[in-house]
């Protein structure tokens, strides 16, 4: 299972398209440079960029400076590179992020005002969760997620919701792959996970109790798009043992229904 910081672009010759030089296209080299950054390595030297992207130093320098000129990368006075604001501006236009976030924000803010706990909005991208928005209270339980970050589907509240409503082939791929344990309470049994997914569909919400960190409890509910399919999930993450999931579920489900109604009245 690939986690938030493991995104890498294939570098094999089979991936090369038109304009490939030495087995790799210019586009693949540029994408490899961008994919080299992570939350653990937000700034990289040129040599680090070249090594992670699998490029020679001259090639890495040439492509990196083109990205700097366009604004996708920025360079510090010490020579280190980091992601540029221009890339964020372009990424913010993604329909599943921008339209969904705009529809959801009033309901996320209401849910936060009622609880002052972590409120999260996420979508599924392949076999992972991608977090679109998060509101965190100063005294809320710390979480490992961040906006734009990725996480496994089987461990988080939003992930369980999205997996429960994912196509059968996605579910089977997850269930037939060894499941990573993030804490002693992470469910890694395919049989138990199938039961949890069935309960999520039946009850209309999912519970992740200590599955990511033992001190956090997440309750999540599905958000429906105009065609009635599950397009996203909203969750409330609180300290474990601070509340019963059954008490939090109505709040989360109400937010999910409100976001769904808004989405039904306008395209994503």
pLDDT for the residue numbered 92: 64
- Do residues 233 and 223 touch, judged by C-beta distance below 8 A? yes
pLDDT tier for residue 216 given thresholds of 50, 70 and 90? very high
Domains (range + CATH), the chain: 13-91 (1.10.10.10), 95-264 (3.30.450.40)
User: Would you say residue 94 has pLDDT above 70?
Assistant: no
> What are the φ/ψ torsions at residue 61 (nearest 5 degrees)?
-65, -45
pLDDT for the residue numbered 143: 81
- Average of per-residue pLDDT values in the chain: 85
pLDDT in tens, 103-158: 899 999 999 999 999 999 999 989 999 898 999 877 888 787 788 788 999 999 99
Cα distances from 46 to residues 86, 178, 180, 185, in angstroms, run 20, 36, 33, 41
> What is residue 189's three-state secondary structure?
coil
pTM recorded for the entire structure: 0.68
User: Would you say residue 70 has pLDDT above 60?
Assistant: yes
Q: Which stretches of the chain are DSSP H helices?
A: 26-35, 46-53, 57-70, 85-91, 95-115, 157-164, 168-175, 190-203, 245-264
> Which candidate, 14, 24, 148, 31, places its Cα nearest to that of 92?
148
- Do residues 15 and 24 touch, judged by C-beta distance below 8 A? yes
């Amino acid at each position: 299972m690939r986690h938030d910081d493991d995104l890498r672009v294939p570098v094999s010759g089979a991936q090369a398209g038109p304009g490939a030089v030495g087995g790799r296209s210019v586009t693949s080299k540029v994408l490899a440079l961008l994919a080299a950054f992570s939350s653990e390595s937000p700034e990289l030297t040129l040599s680090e960029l070249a090594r992670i992207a699998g490029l020679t130093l001259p090639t890495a320098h040439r492509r990196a400076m083109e990205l700097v000129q366009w604004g996708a990368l920025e360079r510090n006075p010490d020579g280190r590179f980091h992601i540029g604001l221009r890339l964020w501006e372009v990424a913010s236009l993604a329909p599943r992020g921008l339209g969904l976030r705009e529809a959801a924000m009033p309901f996320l803010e209401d849910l936060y005002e009622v609880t002052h706990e972590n409120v999260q909005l996420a979508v599924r991208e392949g076999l992972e969760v991608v977090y679109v928005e998060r509101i965190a209270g100063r005294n809320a339980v710390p979480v490992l997620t961040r906006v734009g970050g990725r996480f496994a589907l089987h461990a988080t509240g939003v992930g369980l919701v999205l997996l429960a409503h994912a196509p059968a082939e996605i579910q089977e791929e997850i269930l037939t792959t060894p499941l990573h344990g993030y804490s002693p309470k992470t469910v890694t049994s395919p049989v138990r996970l199938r039961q949890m997914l069935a309960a999520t569909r039946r009850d209309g919400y999912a519970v992740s109790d200590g599955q990511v960190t033992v001190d956090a409890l997440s309750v999540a509910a599905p958000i429906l798009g105009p065609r009635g399919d599950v397009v996203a999930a909203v969750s409330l993450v609180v300290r474990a043992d601070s509340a019963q999931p059954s008490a939090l579920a109505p709040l989360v489900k109400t937010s999910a229904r409100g976001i769904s109604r808004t989405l039904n009245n306008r395209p994503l």
